Structure 1
């Protein structure tokens, strides 16, 4: 898989934006991606040094519309922490 297939999109929420101060960035990643794959993809795409990667599976939430109900899709999230001497990811800097 290429780096663009592994890192699908950034997660922009209040909690994930609070982690930017500690150089922790959150991304939606491919469900089959491993921590090593995610680390290599972030380093290749953004030119930074990754210290650690935490991953978790986000379950789909129940959504109802009248009598019918369903689940939103499940997805995989990765929180990537950068080293102290690494530069920041410029994409997130414009959002603060």
Structure 2
């Protein structure tokens, strides 16, 4: 499967935190994805970009907080994260980039 432009619009960036590093021991990788993407789109985009077989995709939408910016009330953007479970023996090293 060839990587198309839509695949790069679905997968925005890897989400590197302490918790996501611990998940990598269980063949799981966390990505920031677009808010309108579905689990099937995320799975096909990962398979097309990285060439790895996806077993399961879980998604979480973190709602943006209301914050005060220089005395003016503002709101951070919502963020959708995808926790991608890869098949046994496969891994994606997100620290090296594409």
The count of corresponding residues between Structure 1 and Structure 2 is: 92
Residue 32 of structure 1 and its aligned partner are, at CA, apart by 1.1
Find 1:12's aligned residue among 4, 16, 30: 16
TM-score where L is the length of structure 2: 0.84
Given the alignment of the two structures, is residue 79 of structure 1 paired with residue 83 of structure 2, yes or no? yes
Gaps of 5+ in 2: none
Residues 14-34 of structure 1 show CA distances to partners (whole Å, capped at 9, x for unaligned) of 111111111111111111111
Q: Distance in 1 between matches of 2:7 and 2:72?
A: 38
1:63-82 CA-partner distances (Å, limit 9, x unpaired)? 22453221110121110011
State the distance in 2 between where 1:14 and 1:63 align: 25
Aligned equivalents of 2:19, 2:53: Cα separation in 1 = 22
Task: Output the aligned Cα RMSD.
Answer: 1.6
Normalised to the residue count of structure 1, the TM-score between the two structures is 0.85
Instruction: Give the Cα–Cα distance (whole angstroms) in 1 for the partners of residues 42 and 69 of structure 2.
Output: 36
Report what 1:27 is aligned to: 31
Q: Structure 2 residue aligned with 1:43, among 43, 47, 50?
A: 47
Q: Which consecutive unaligned segments of at least 5 residues does structure 1 have?
A: none
